[in-house]
Structure 1
Amino acid sequence: MRGPLVCEKYPNKYRGTITIVGREILTEKNRKITLRVQARNLALKNWIVKPDVFFELSRKDGGNKVIEDILVYKSERRNTKNVSWDSFVLLERDFWQNDGKNPDDYIRFACFHHKQNGKHKLLGESTLRVIDFLENEGRKQRFPLGGLSELLVSCEFEKTFLEYIDGGLEVQLNIAIDFTASNRDKNYDLHKNGPDETCYEYAIRVVGNILERYDSDKQISVYGFGGEFNNSGFVSHEFALTGNNEKLKSTGFQR
């Protein structure tokens, strides 16, 4: 939907237009992507003019049968022909039109020289398929902008926890339990040994049983702090709940 911007004081004066675009959000494509964009040999024909360049990333939207560029990101301005802009983060769904499966979805990178009157000069542009761009994740991709000018773009998906595990990351589960007086009152003790499971025991069992699956050796270290251990007569802030400082680890969770 597009309409004119109107000033009540000067209703007949052109103030530009506003465009509102709506689309269904792709909840399954919410991975973060970090992008780094560089440009080389930007063509500024007037050598007297100081470079003042920026780029725009837009999505080709043809949902209403008319192909339009929907702005996704606009960079900061830089005063050089060979520029490295700040990295930025987008969601994967920002690149796609609707269901995220159309092989003909396109994005457009365009470089501009900034003009004070808002009529920015296009220095070059490159249009590419989304699917091709994302499949080259992790690599520096080169896109021609005309002449000797080119754009260098790299994108990297934010890795999930399971992807790190699948890549060989080893996890070691360690648990520390607070024995200070701050977590008890006269009527209730979180560390009391009784017939019923305490809140501490419940939390450790429920969360620990999940995290144990990702532990590389299934051996779990359990410490206590802020308590007097084995009637030692002094408060310790690091003691093994196995009762043996030489053998810190135990297997599984049971009462």
Structure 2
Amino acid sequence: SSHYSELSAAPTLSCGPVACVSKVELRVACKALLDRDTLNKSDPCVILMVQNQGQWTELDRTEVIKSNLHPVFAKVFTLDYYFEEVQKLRFEVYDIHGTHSIGTRDDDFLGGVECTLGQIVAQKKMVKPLFLKYAKYAGKSTITVHAEEISGNNGYVELFFCAKKLDDKDLFSKSDPFLEIYRINDDGTEQLVHRTEVIKNNLNPVWEPFKVSLISLCSCDEDRKLKCLVWDSDSRGKHDFIGEFYATFREMQKIGGGSKVTWDCMNPKYKLKKKNYKNSGVVILSDLKLHRVYSFLDYIMGGCQIHFTVAIDFTASNGDPRNSCSLHYINPYQPNEYLKALIAVGEICQDYDSDKRFSALGFGARIPPNYEVSHDFAINFNPEDDECEEIQGVVEAYQNCLPKIQLYGPTNVSPIISRIAKLSAGEETIKDASRYHILLILTDGVVTDMADTREAIVRASYQPLSIIIVGVGNADFTDMQILDGDDGVLRSPKGEPVLRDIVQFVPFRDFKTVSIAFLPFLILCVLFFTGLACCLGQMCPCGGAQPGGGVLQSQGHLPHAAHPIM
């Protein structure tokens, strides 16, 4: 998302902050941490803090690694990088005493460091000493942060791994196996891509499926070697090596038609010492789902059409439409803020819509005939066809709707977001489907169903959809910035991040002192350059397959080399 507030005060238009955004993945490792535990070693976790308006807030945190002074964390931090801004970060390392709790005592703090995102991106691999309070060195402790810009391919893959007949490393029980996958870089170094969870007391583990970007997995090189290690977990951090194997993403794509991809899990020492040694078990890729996600710009350049939907807030907080103080008051000489925002954005978007027909929905009102509260209704009261002819048709439907409804509440927007996301997802199955959806939500206050809305946005981020939320009136919209994602990556209540930033929130009052014409232009900049954030410098993320013969592509059981990356 763009930082529109920095632009709105300027008398002339500038799209600089929007154009210079990209996404960056950060991976963290530490060395020689202080040992705070008496019997075992420290159980470290790294918290990533970001500074916003002088305040430090937690953005995300890594997993806890038990009894380890040299941890390599599997957690990946994903951030928006604005080239022209100083984005201050702070990495804090703590020794954890419990499942998720972060200690507040000084003796739980293992060290921290402040830097800027720009410094990390410029160095690609930043190594810094850790400091305790009062700028005191934390012994010889260091933190290493690797940065990788997601610039060539914004697709991702979902992998399903299991294993059979693994070696038993425990005396009184079975092994507790986990799998690690490392990418081998051009310089021969190894980069941890993913670490699975531990499956207790099981020689035939089935690990939870996991998602990883193609950039992270193999740098979009199908033949890049991946080193895979299987370990028997030890609570004291002294994991027992079970075996290893090498794979490539090209090999993984051989899955299909009910067949699975299998690798022998080999222990090199056993192979040398044991004459009849076969393996230490087998690791199986039981399923693979490859997802390609294209940006708004990709769709436009590919010749697709936009489908525009507007959702209008009809909650009681807007005031009685018959009262001149109401935000919904129809003044024959001066359009209200809802109409101004609708016309400003709609007239721009309709240029990309060939049939000039727009869906017009409402939420938060009691509607005829039974006057039950609805959070998703057609303002023309035709559930079979909610579309209106051009923006003028939406304006007329809005004006005709007001006398027929009763403004009520609450301000729930998740039903409409879920509906449009489901509609765009359904179009994947239509041959030659080529539509990008824009949902314009006009509201006078902070949404009531914030948790459900966050969940709906995360789900919607996998679809060809962008959401523009315009706040009308003088309410405090501070909490709405959460949905925008400017202060970090938006996450569902369960912690799942959005696949891409699809929401832009703008208070309409910020444009009264500049020019209403600035609003649609800014929004188009956001739509175009939010896409460029993931594929800067390349029109098509998959390097050749133009989006036009099918919107979001998502398929499992991919045949070998059916959709090459390069």
TM-score over 0.5 for the pair: yes
Structure 1 SS opposite 2:265: strand
Cα displacement string for residues 129-182 of structure 1 (whole angstroms, at most 9, x for unaligned residues): 34x257x2975532222436322224424453779x9xxxxx986655334441
Match of 1:84 among 200, 206, 213: 206
Q: After superposition, what is the alpha-carbon deviation per residue over 1:105-141, rounded to whole angstroms, capped at 9, x for unaligned?
A: 32222112234554433222121234x257x297553
* SS at structure 2 position matched to 1:189: coil
Question: Aligned match of 1:123 in 231, 242, 245?
Answer: 242
One-letter amino acid of the counterpart of residue 222, structure 1: A
Question: 1:228: Cα distance to partner?
Answer: 9.0
Q: Mind listing any 5+ residue stretches in structure 1 that lack a counterpart?
A: 9-14, 166-170
CA shift digits 1:198-235 (9 cap, x unpaired): 332244342586489689x8654535563799xx9x97
Count residues with an aligned counterpart. 233
C-alpha contact (below 8 Å) 1:42/1:82 kept by paired residues: yes
| Alignment CA distance shift 1:124-1:253 (3 Å) | same
Q: CA deviation at 1:183?
A: 1.3
CA distance in 1, matches of 2:313, 2:30: 60
- Among all aligned residue pairs of Structure 1 and Structure 2, give the percentage whose two residues are the same amino acid: 21
Q: For 1:61, which of 185, 202, 215 is the aligned residue?
A: 185
Q: CA deviation at 1:240?
A: 6.1
Bigger Rg, structure 1 or 2: 1
Alpha-carbon distance between aligned partners in 2 of 1:247 and 1:3, rounded to the nearest angstrom: 62
Higher helix residue share = 2
- What aligned pairs does 1:126-205 form with structure 2 within 5 A after superposition? 126-130=245-249, 132=250, 136=253, 139=256, 140-146=260-266, 147=278, 149-153=281-285, 154-160=287-293, 175-184=310-319, 186-187=324-325, 189-205=327-343
CA–CA distance in structure 2, aligned partners of residues 180 and 17 of structure 1: 55
| Partner AA of 1:27 in structure 2 | I
CA contact (8 A) 1:57 1:110 kept: yes
Q: What corresponds to 1:12 in structure 2?
A: none
CA contact (8 A) 1:61 1:70 kept: yes
TM-aligned CA deviation for residue 36 of structure 1: 1.9
Letter in 2 for 1:26: E
Counterpart in the other structure of 2:217: 95
State the alpha-carbon separation in 1 of the partners of residues 389 and 255 from structure 2: 39
Deviations 1:44-79 (A, max 9, x none): 37786422211111222354xxx3333232222222
In 1, the alpha carbon distance for the partners of 2:311 and 2:248 equals 50
Q: Could you tell me how far 1:42 is from its partner in structure 2? A: 1.5
Whether the 8 Å contact between 1:212 and 1:252 is mirrored in structure 2 is no
Q: Name 2:413's counterpart in structure 1.
A: none
Residue 516 of structure 2 corresponds to none
Distance 1:224 1:118 in 2: 56
1:73 aligns with 2:186: no
TM-score (norm 1): 0.64
Secondary structure at the aligned position of 2:149 is classed as: coil
Look up the equivalent residue of 1:75 and give its one-letter code.
Answer: T
The unaligned stretches of length 5 or more in structure 2 are 1-28, 37-67, 73-142, 267-277, 300-305, 396-566
Structure 1 CA distance for aligned equivalents of residues 217 and 352 of structure 2:
35
Which amino acid in the other structure matches residue 162 of structure 2? Q
Paired with 1:246 and 1:103, the residues of 2 have a C-alpha distance of 46
Structure 1 counterpart of 2:192, which letter? L
The alignment's TM-score, normalised by the length of structure 2, stands at 0.33
Residues 179 and 224 of structure 1 are in contact (CA less than 8 Å); yes or no, is this contact kept in structure 2?
yes
- Aligned AA (1:126): F
Kept after mapping to 2: 8 A contact 1:175/1:223: yes
Does the residue aligned with 1:36 lie in a helix, a strand or coil? strand
Q: Is the 8 A contact 1:219 1:252 kept in 2?
A: yes
Please tell me the residue identity of whatever aligns with 1:189. Answer: L
Q: Closer, same or farther in 2 for the Cα pair 1:42/1:182, shift >3 Å?
A: same
Q: 1:4 to 1:158 in 2, by over 3 A?
A: same
Q: Which residue of 2 aligns with 1:38?
A: 162
Distance 2:330 2:311 in 1: 17
SS in 2 for 1:83: coil
Counterpart amino acid of 2:336? T
Alignment equivalent of 1:109, drawn from 222, 225, 228: 228
CA contact (8 A) 2:174 2:203 kept: no
Q: 1:2 to 1:191 in 2, by over 3 A?
A: closer
| CA distance in structure 2 between the partners assigned to 1:23 and 1:93 by the alignment | 14
State the Cα RMSD in Å.
Answer: 4.7
Conservation of the 8 A alpha-carbon contact between 1:32 and 1:158: yes
Partner amino acid for 1:39?
A
